[in-house]
Structure 1
């Protein structure tokens, strides 16, 4: 099975890395194996820009657990994937490099997510140093919007899906209505939306030290997903409706929660100054 930008990757290995054809073939087989695994786990068409560290971590774990591969063999797969994603990042095919947290034999299979932060937004608003973009992003995720939807999400659409009047008032007070009476929640200076969430994530990342959790669109979405799935009072239909996912995806996330995911309950910062 071909993987994205395979021809360009092989040329990169040949021309820039000066690798032998046999080495390139071996690396390509490793990447193809990952791409088949990743594509099979999704109900929609696979997109290389959506691959996250946890997807690669789960793949590596499956090589050990299902195929009984030894650690040194798994590390070869990891080495090939690192080379591939370095290529993708270097040539602009992806904006975020997903393998920073993976370290050969020492990769941490347990990805940690902070859950059940959604009801704390009214209290987080009181923190003076927090960026308005952070509150907007968390509010959008808590309202059930997916990462791809958030970059083109209009303010009115978000406000209609927020129950807390405190959060609604905060978002209105921190929204520029000078160019549009219904602006994008994340708008550029000219009023247009961003092409991706890269710039948005750069703005909200510094608040990680204040809030005590990773603040990227994907990480927040996953923490929301595992918050909902961990709520045993919700039926399958409630979960499917809230997350807007298929039963196949729900089973995938539940398996991850059992085998690869560690969750911790959100705690408000002690100081809100």
Structure 2
């Protein structure tokens, strides 16, 4: 069985002993896999020796700097990745597999203040649907969230194949006609009627949330605001509540499929919105 980074089997056993959630374990794996992939391609020290015990603080700093400048990660993500690397190198140091702790002098970044949630994007949906600079998956994401579907719903296999958009706006239906030219070849290749599909051969053709982010993230520079599906959905909920202040909690919960204990939270956000 191939490994994604040095001492992976031993480190996996340590993580298993900590009885952490599978998703958290996967985050460690993704961080370390990406870190060593970066070293193999861009770090002369590692390219020359492929020895983890030669890595020093500057090598980790270069990787973290790349994440900030090239991928534009937020401070919260930066701190999580640094924490993953710190746990990994402390583990190696404790087993004398490296004489250094290259993360020892690296500091976490301060927590960034919360940005106001953009709820006005929903009002400009038709403009975004016509914007050919945006990837079709970006525009489809905006469209489906504006119909009230969060990402965990529209990325679920079988869900989009069941949608009936006949009652959607003319602009939405016009976009979907253009979208068909993109998606039909993929549906035929994978023999799958869903709308979010990978563009390369895969055992599971369905696009994952990280895969969707690869389309959304570059388009943020074009559209000028966060395209995180979670943030977009919060904006949709706030927009709905501002447009329907007369509706009771029960009506809103039924219309938006919200859990009852979250309605007060979103009402407060709507009241604080500019």
With normalisation by structure 1, the TM-score equals 0.53
CA deviation vs aligned residue, 1:223-271 (integer Å, no higher than 9, x gap): 112222333243323321232112211123335566xxx645xxxxxxx
Residue 130 (1) aligns with residue 134 (2)? yes
For residues 11-160 of structure 1, the aligned pairs below 5 Å read 11=14, 82=79, 86-87=83-84, 103-104=109-110, 107-108=112-113, 110-152=114-156, 154-160=159-165
User: How far has the Cα of 1:182 moved from its partner?
Assistant: 6.6
Distance 2:86 2:211 in 1: 16
Deviations 1:47-87 (A, max 9, x none): 879xxxxxxxxxxxxxxxxxxxxxxxxxxxx99x9469843
CA gap of 1:182–1:162, structure 2 versus 1, over 3 A, is farther
Q: Does 1:246 align with 2:246?
A: no
- Give the distance between the partners of 2:86 and 2:256, measured in 1 at CA: 30
SS at match of 1:113: coil
Tell me the residue number matched to 1:22. Answer: none
1:186 maps to what in 2? 196
Aligned residues: 183
Could you list the runs of 5+ residues in structure 1 that have no partner in the other structure? 1-7, 15-27, 29-46, 50-77, 92-101, 265-273
Tell me the equivalent position of 2:242: 230
C-alpha change, 1:107 and 1:135, in structure 2 (3 Å) is closer
Q: What is residue 203 of structure 1 aligned with on the other side? A: 215
Max Rg structure: 2
Alignment root-mean-square deviation, CA: 4.2
What secondary structure, in the 3-state scheme, does the structure 1 residue paired with 2:234 have?
helix
Quote the Cα distance in structure 2 between the aligned partners of 1:112 and 1:202: 23
Change (3 A) 1:177 1:90: farther
User: Structure 1 pair 239/122, CA: closer, same or farther in 2 (3 Å)?
Assistant: same
Q: Which has the higher helix share?
A: 2
5+ residue gaps, structure 2: 1-10, 26-74, 89-107
